[in-house]
Amino acid sequence: MTAELTETATGRDCVAESTASAKLCYTVLCHEGSHTQSALAAETGLDRKTVQRAVSLLVDCGVVRETVDPTDARQKCYRPITDRC
């Protein structure tokens, strides 16, 4: 097994053990692509603080990457690290 597959499997295990809100945010990101926290909150119906905790957990799990929003440098965008979610 390659290092990339091991990291992906470990990340997926981390998501599987996460909160329901983190799983929901991860699912939205996997199916719809990059979102800001505001967009995730609107899409999922979760409050912003819950989304903030969820994406922080996903970044810590290594399954989501945080980047600067190209349309507004004050915001961050979140997207899955791999296209195979």
- The answer to the question of residue 57 being in a domain is yes
Beta bridge partners of 7: none
- The answer to the question of residue 62 being in a domain is yes
- The answer to the question of residue 16 being in a domain is yes
* The pair of three-digit structure tokens given for residue 78, joined into one six-digit string: 């979140």
Q: Is 16 exposed, middle or buried (0-12, 13-18, 19+ CB in 10 A)?
A: exposed
- The answer to the question of residue 46 being in a domain is yes
**Amino acid at position 49, single letter:** K
CATH number at residue 31: 1.10.10.10
- Alpha carbons 74 and 29: distance in angstroms, whole number: 20
pLDDT digits (tens, 9 = 90+) for 12-70: 889 999 999 999 999 999 999 999 999 999 999 999 999 999 999 999 999 999 999 88
φ and ψ of 83, to 5 deg: -80, -10
- The answer to the question of residue 85 being in a domain is no
- The answer to the question of residue 15 being in a domain is yes
Number of domains in the chain: 1
